[in-house]
Structure 1
Amino acid sequence: MAAGQPPSSVRTERLLRAACAAMATAGALLLGFSAQTKTVFFVQKKAVPKDVQALWVLIVAAAAAAAYHAAQLAWCLCMDRLASSAGCRRLGRAVAFASFLLDKGCAYMVFATTVAALQACFVGLLGVEALQWSKLCNIYTRFCEQIAAGTVCTLLAAAGTDVLSAFSARDLFRRR
């Protein structure tokens, strides 16, 4: 390893944080800007994510996760410069513990909201015959495709955040 270069695990964590921030941002943007207008029986209807509360919550959660990952990435870059100086060990453990808790919380938040949005989207995709809810994706095809792409992006961001929490756990228990 060259002098001044961070270990490969730190580089991997940085890369994964950047990828999670990018995927969460892409998911929030795809979900937030998806809309489609159709004319049904001479009435124009517009499908937007606010029509499904779970999608709106997912947009907010994905945007918060993207901001969190960007802030954590900036924090990692700042701490690399400060890590060379002899700092307080106890403070390092507290920061590692806080990072672990925040990573776990972010992973749970994004995963839970994504699964809730998926459940709501399956109702729109398949309909519920017992409640006489029709299949909306037959009418709003482009809207459903954009929602599917945004949901996949946020699901990938949730999986990456879960891997990042494993990195945080390793860092926390390494500081014992």
Structure 2
Amino acid sequence: MRPGIGVSPGNVPVYYGGGHLKAVERRVKVAEVVLRWVIFGLGVLAAALVASDTQVTNIFSLEKKAKFTDMKALVFLVIANAIAAGYSLIQGLRCAVSMIKGSVLFDKALALVIFSCDQVMAYVTLAAVAAAAQSAVLGEFGQSELQWMKLCNLYRRFCSRVGEGILSSFVVSLGMVSLSGLSAFNLFRLFGNNKGKTRG
């Protein structure tokens, strides 16, 4: 009888799916590694784009310099992306070592910690992108009711680069949301027949 095949009370072959489950877990591990390294790269890119962005312009013969620290939402965006990149680097190394060794002790406590951290990072990156996007909209279109002018008319290059940083940050936040789903899978698969085993 082939592995993974059993016989039901009615003498009908039944496939238990052990090999299929291992293949799914392997794909989940590969996806997790790829996502964590992509988030690391885009997080560094987003933080660098925004943090290094400056532009000097003349307003009524006065020289004004725009930088990311002038907007608290952009400071939050840079910090959130830096944290996400650092966290993804650490977790990416853990995943890579796990795949190289072929097995790693993966108990419920560790899975719960990783799941919780992924959830927190997903919320933080989404909040940072939302705050920065709101500030960017105000900078691009202004607010006539409050007599806020369109600042991006004066700092076009600065705003364009910030937009690139926000776009990269948005991809980072989507990646963190996807990772929180994968870590949920890694956590909840430990409940049931396979709990407490060493994971390959």
What TM-score does the superposition give when structure 1 sets the normalisation length?
0.90
- Specify which of 61, 78, 84 is matched with residue 80 of structure 2: 61
Please state which structure has a larger fraction of its residues in strand. Answer: 2
Letter in 2 for 1:105: V
- Alpha-carbon distance in structure 1 between the residues aligned to 2:103 and 2:189: 17
Structure whose alpha-carbon radius of gyration is higher:
2
Secondary structure in structure 2 of the residue aligned to 1:142: helix
Partner of 1:143 in structure 2? 158
Q: 2:190 aligned with 1:169, yes or no?
A: no
Letter in 2 for 1:120: S
Q: Measure how far apart 1:39 and its partner are.
A: 1.1
Write out aligned runs for 1:15-26 (5 A).
15-26=34-45
1:95-124, Cα deviation, whole Å (9 max, x unpaired) = 111000000100000000110111111111
- Alpha-carbon distance in structure 1 between the residues aligned to 2:56 and 2:101: 53
- Alpha-carbon distance in structure 1 between the residues aligned to 2:33 and 2:95: 8
Partner of 1:121 in structure 2? 136
- Alpha-carbon distance in structure 1 between the residues aligned to 2:168 and 2:42: 5
Partner of 1:152 in structure 2? 167
Could you say which structure has the greater relative contact order, defined with CA pairs below 8 angstroms and 6 or more residues apart?
1
Letter in 1 for 2:86: A
Partner of 2:54 in structure 1? 35
- How big is the alpha-carbon RMSD for the aligned residues of Structure 1 and Structure 2? 1.8
Letter in 1 for 2:126: F
- Alpha-carbon distance in structure 1 between the residues aligned to 2:47 and 2:115: 24
Partner of 1:76 in structure 2? 95
- Alpha-carbon distance in structure 2 between the residues aligned to 1:112 and 1:27: 15
1:120-167, Cα deviation, whole Å (9 max, x unpaired) = 111111111111110001110000000000000001000011001110
Q: Measure how far apart 1:80 and its partner are.
A: 3.7
Partner of 1:92 in structure 2? 107
Partner of 2:3 in structure 1? none
- Alpha-carbon distance in structure 2 between the residues aligned to 1:70 and 1:23: 11
Aligned length: 169
- Alpha-carbon distance in structure 2 between the residues aligned to 1:107 and 1:63: 13
User: Any gaps of 5 or more consecutive residues in structure 1?
Assistant: none
User: Any gaps of 5 or more consecutive residues in structure 2?
Assistant: 1-18, 192-200
Moved more, 56-65 or 75-84: 75-84
Q: Kindly, what percent of the aligned residue pairs are identical?
A: 32
Please state which structure has a larger fraction of its residues in helix. Answer: 1
